[in-house]
Amino acid sequence: MAESQVQAGHLSSSETRRGEDVETSKKWAAGQNKQHSITKNTAKLDRETEELNHDRVTLEVGKVIQQGRQSKGLTQKDQATKTNEKPQVIAHCESGRAIPNNHVLGKIERAIGLKLWGKAIGKPIVKRPRAK
């Protein structure tokens, strides 16, 4: 074993030539990141029963999206292409499983021409002339 350690460069060559004993020690927990330790007590974590859930798109908004899409004669895939989103995103919005994203809902809103938030959900968007 001493020869393999010498070949691997673990022992100093001068010490091995002189025939001296070389002290070796194993490093415990070497290579493990010990900077960030868990500071919360696990019992305290067990007592915390608050469920953290994200808000979802309401079913009312989902139905408005579905009805607006069908009134335009679009499939979910067509609407996804038109809004530059995945078909799954449209399906999740319609079923109420999506987390509200103003950017995505804005694109869907413009594609179907119906309001999706505020007090006027489901009402047509009124296009105003641009000021020059």
pLDDT band at 18 (very low <50, low <70, confident <90, very high): confident
Q: Per CATH, the architecture of 59-112 is what?
A: Orthogonal Bundle (1.10)
pLDDT tens-digit series, residues 102-124: 999 999 999 999 998 888 888 89
Highest mean pLDDT among 22-36, 70-84, 111-125: 70-84
pLDDT confidence of residue 3: 53
> What is the C-alpha to C-alpha distance for residues 54 and 56, in angstroms, rounded to an integer?
6
Q: Where are the domains of the chain?
A: 59-112
User: Whole-model pTM above 0.85?
Assistant: no
Closest CA to 2 of 44, 41, 19: 19
pLDDT score at 10: 53
Q: What is the model's pLDDT at position 104? A: 93
